[in-house]
């Protein structure tokens, strides 16, 4: 482990935090494929404690960085094989299935094959356009997901509205972006917390903050006295070419999780969300005083510094792109200065970005809140 303290002690970067991510810092394959004998937990863990303290650890050291009574809130959504080859008017396309609506429609993103298994943006629409799917199915594009945007469209599948999960199981593959080196099996995109949903719902993209956990590490954390509280939020696509604010997503916070979180807060334990999805779901279920109630449905909550967080004391997350809206959530948890210092250190120490990369634990200012690891 190594650490740094003090403002102004790291190199400043242009833009909000960083201008560009060096290509050598893009995680191209999972951690277990980067060195012989490695497992998922063979990533690094950057820890930010307030605006002046940053340290670098092996992720396996996480149990020693938490304490009895802390609660890790984890997302149990399973990752779907959400990318499917398709055609429209003879043109080859790839459909990214994002989110299933209550009326049987799916929000989808159309992409153009770019070779070697990757894709590039393709304009959505127009309304009424028909996309041919494998096995004789089709999608009819109906309207943009949001007014004024044409990347994501609501589309009605036929002949059977709820046949999409079967289509994905038979013909789908995980969504892959150009910075990755090669295709990976769906198992590489499932976290240890993933539970298949009875209705076939799931996440278009992996809730990746949970990926470095292994069964052994979970057992060590439990032995340490750290509790796990599950919830579900099914994530949609988050294209690397566009950084729109999050759109509504389906979530569920069960009564057991609400009780665990409320009890931990009452006893002085910290509530640490594993991933931005866990923050969004948990904060959606909290009242103005920070008490969590069981809740389920759709959330359109966007967590910003102005809104703040009412429940979460810390966030374990990956490293995000310079213009990602998730950075506002990080600021809401830890503050602008802490995020800026953390990202400068991530660059200086060669941390790896994206879903197969290193992770960042941001904690509220321990001195101000009277907390010490």
Beta strands in 164-266 (DSSP E): 227-233, 249-253
Q: What is the pLDDT of residue 6?
A: 35
Peptide bond into 159 cis (omega under 30): yes
Q: What is the pLDDT of residue 161?
A: 58
Task: Let me know the angle formed at the C-alpha of 317 by 257 and 10, rounded to the nearest 5 degrees.
Answer: 140
Sign of the torsion angle spanned by Cα atoms 138, 100, 185, 24: positive
Q: What is the pLDDT of residue 157?
A: 93
Mean pLDDT by 10 residues, the chain (373 residues): 36 49 91 92 94 92 96 98 95 95 93 85 90 93 84 88 85 91 94 93 95 98 98 85 74 98 96 97 96 97 93 96 85 92 93 95 68 39
Q: What is the pLDDT of residue 243?
A: 58
Cα–Cα distances in angstroms (integers) from residue 334 to residues 49, 243, 317, in the given order: 8, 21, 12
Q: What is the pLDDT of residue 14?
A: 34
Q: What is the pLDDT of residue 3?
A: 44
pTM of the entire structure?
0.90
Q: What is the pLDDT of residue 160?
A: 63
What SS3 state is found at 64?
A: helix
Closest to 239 measured CA to CA, from 72, 337, 123: 123
Cα–Cα distances in angstroms (integers) from residue 115 to residues 23, 112, 176, 189, in the given order: 19, 9, 12, 21
User: Residue 137 forms beta bridges with which residues?
Assistant: none
């Amino acid at each position: 482990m190594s650490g740094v303290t003090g403002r102004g002690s790291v190199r400043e970067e242009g833009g909000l935090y960083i201008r560009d991510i060096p290509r050598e810092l893009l995680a191209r394959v999972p951690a277990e494929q980067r060195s012989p004998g490695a497992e998922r937990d063979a990533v690094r863990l950057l820890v930010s404690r307030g605006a002046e303290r940053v340290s670098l650890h092996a992720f396996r050291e996480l149990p020693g960085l938490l304490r009895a009574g802390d609660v890790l809130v984890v997302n149990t959504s399973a990752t779907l094989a959400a990318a499917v080859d398709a055609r429209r008017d003879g043109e080859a396309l790839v459909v990214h299935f994002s989110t299933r609506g209550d009326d049987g429609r799916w929000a989808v993103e159309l992409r153009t094959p770019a070779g070697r298994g990757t894709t590039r943006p393709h304009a959505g629409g127009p309304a009424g356009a028909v996309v041919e799917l494998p096995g004789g199915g089709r999608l009819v594009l109906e309207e943009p997901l949001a007014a004024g945007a044409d990347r994501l469209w609501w589309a009605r599948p036929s002949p059977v509205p709820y046949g999409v999960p079967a289509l994905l199981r038979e013909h789908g593959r995980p969504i892959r972006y150009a910075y990755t080196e090669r295709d990976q099996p769906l198992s590489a995109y499932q976290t240890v917390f993933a539970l298949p949903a009875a209705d076939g719902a799931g996440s278009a993209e992996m809730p990746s903050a949970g990926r470095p956990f292994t069964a052994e590490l979970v057992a060590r954390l439990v032995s340490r006295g750290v509790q796990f509280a599950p919830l579900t939020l099914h994530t949609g696509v988050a294209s690397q070419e566009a950084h729109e604010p999050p759109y509504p997503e389906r979530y569920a916070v069960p009564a057991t999780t609400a009780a665990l979180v409320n009890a931990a807060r009452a006893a002085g334990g910290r509530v640490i969300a594993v991933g931005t999805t866990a923050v969004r779901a948990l904060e959606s279920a909290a009242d103005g005083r920070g008490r969590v109630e069981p809740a389920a449905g759709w959330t359109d909550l966007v967590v910003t510094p102005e809104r703040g967080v009412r429940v979460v004391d810390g966030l374990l997350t990956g490293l995000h792109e310079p213009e990602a809206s998730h950075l506002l959530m990080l600021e809401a948890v830890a503050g602008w200065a802490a995020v800026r210092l953390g990202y400068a250190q991530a660059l200086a120490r060669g941390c790896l970005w994206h879903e197969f990369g290193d992770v960042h634990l941001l904690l509220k200012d321990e001195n101000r809140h009277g907390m010490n690891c």
